[in-house]
Amino acid sequence: MDNQQEVTAIHHSIVDSTMAIIAGLFLIEQINKNGAKVFIHEGIKIDIDKDLIVLGLKMNLKDSLIEDFGESDGLNRTYGLLKKMYAESDNKPMALTQFGQEMFASLFIDLAEDIKSESSSTIH
């Protein structure tokens, strides 16, 4: 493995670790809000876990940005967006920002809408 491949592998690891942190924050928020590891939108309940949330971020953010901008620039853009999704401070626990909450809401509301349209198109 040459140096550039090694640097790229480390960059992927940093982005993936950051996605896992953000997924954990979203999961905590949903547990506090809904009393369980579920996302609820208009009566549609989606069971969620950290792996599912990371997969959603990977597919909808990381993979899309890498596809659009190439591996190096896509990873940089992904990391930049991920950093906007949560806040750290000395006197408060880590938490999702308004931007982070909106990103997750959009992601999971789209999924809930897909589930709703899929279930309503099923012939009974």
Question: Tell me, what's the pLDDT at 122?
Answer: 59
Domain boundaries defined on the chain: 3-120
pTM passes above 0.85: yes
Q: Is 111 helix (H, G, I), strand (E, B) or coil?
A: helix
Q: What's the CA angle centered on 116, arms 102 and 24, to 5 degrees?
A: 40
Spatial distance between the Cα atoms of 74 and 56, rounded to a whole number of angstroms: 16
pLDDT tens for each residue of the chain, 124 residues long: 799 999 999 999 999 999 999 999 999 999 999 999 999 988 889 999 999 999 999 999 999 999 999 999 999 999 999 999 999 888 888 999 999 999 999 999 888 888 888 877 655 4
Spatial distance between the Cα atoms of 34 and 100, rounded to a whole number of angstroms: 18
